[in-house]
Amino acid sequence: MRTLISDKDLNRPRGKAIYWTVLTLVTVLFTLAFVFPLYWMFASAVKAPAEYAAPDPTLIPESFHPEAYANAWTRLDVARYFFNTAWYALGGWLIQLVVCVLAAYALSKLRPRFGNLVLGAMLASLMLPASALLVPAYLTVVDVPLLHVNLIDTPWALWLPAAANAFNVYVLKRFFDQIPDDLLDQAAIDGAGRLRTLWSVVLPLSRPVLAVVSILAVIAMWKDFVWPLLVLQDPQKQTLSVALSRMAGIGSFVPPTELMAGLAIASVPMIVVFLIFQRQILAGLSSGGLKG
């Protein structure tokens, strides 16, 4: 593909020299800037406490104490927070998927009266910065209107707000819109009800978009910090991010290498997800960014 600089220019001797210099520089700089900090996190966790705290840090650990990871997992209770977060992410993903798929299907294929109004009201929430709603949303969770239940310290405090995801509804609806109505009518003639049609005609066709929505949902739940910080106050129920923040805080005396191991453990699922689903994540990002 033709870009700013043509292949012809790059193949000239001078162009070649400049190109290879720049390529080497970029490779080194990018690795230093973006990979090295991660290496540092994983590597410094295995250093002996004395080596870790020494004023001239070693690039390659001279002592090897992988038990910092085991200690973090058991003594710092990272295991509990890890599974807490996984449970919140999994439940949040499932609820969000069910709620948003049903809504998008209704808006796209059943086209009820006032459907566009409902969609508009949902999209309006995209305009609101999440942080401006933090305080009133917190009060809603403390005392849910009409029901008068308190959701603090329950997973529902994370799951229900996550289900109100206008971006998901919008993306799913747009995808469902492209599925021809003829296919659905065919299913109806074969005697399938609306729900049955959704399950066996629409959803199998929507695998790519379901994948993107699912991946983004899990990532968002895993990374979230401020909202879980507010609504999960019982230390036993906290997410890994909130627990790590607390352990690193003033007045908490956690061995630094174990804390570093905790950070590494918190990153592993995200790095793995990224390595597996890189294509979907980056593609979803560029299309979402362009279309708004």
Minimum distance between the CB of residue 199 and other proteins, rounded to whole angstroms? 12
Minimum distance between the CB of residue 50 and other proteins, rounded to whole angstroms? 11
Q: Which is nearer to other proteins, 60 or 132 (CB)?
A: 132
Helix ranges restricted to H, the chain:
7-11, 13-30, 36-44, 49-53, 67-74, 78-105, 115-127, 134-142, 156-163, 166-177, 181-189, 194-197, 203-205, 207-223, 226-231, 240-248, 256-291
Q: Which is nearer to other proteins, 33 or 60 (CB)?
A: 33
- Residue 75 · residue 61 · CB < 8 Å: no
Q: Which is nearer to other proteins, 79 or 98 (CB)?
A: 98
Minimum distance between the CB of residue 153 and other proteins, rounded to whole angstroms? 15
CA distance 263 to 99: 33
Q: Which is nearer to other proteins, 31 or 63 (CB)?
A: 31
Q: Which is nearer to other proteins, 75 or 177 (CB)?
A: 177
- Residues 6+ away with beta carbon under 8 Å from 282: none
Minimum distance between the CB of residue 278 and other proteins, rounded to whole angstroms? 6
Give which of 116, 94, 101, 280 is closest to 176, Cα–Cα.
101
Minimum distance between the CB of residue 63 and other proteins, rounded to whole angstroms? 16
Instruction: Please report, as a single letter, which amino acid is at residue 15.
Output: G
CA distances from 99 to 12, 78, 105, 197 (A): 58, 31, 10, 17
Minimum distance between the CB of residue 74 and other proteins, rounded to whole angstroms? 20
Q: Which is nearer to other proteins, 38 or 70 (CB)?
A: 38
- Residue 229 · residue 204 · CB < 8 Å: no
CA distance 103 to 109: 10
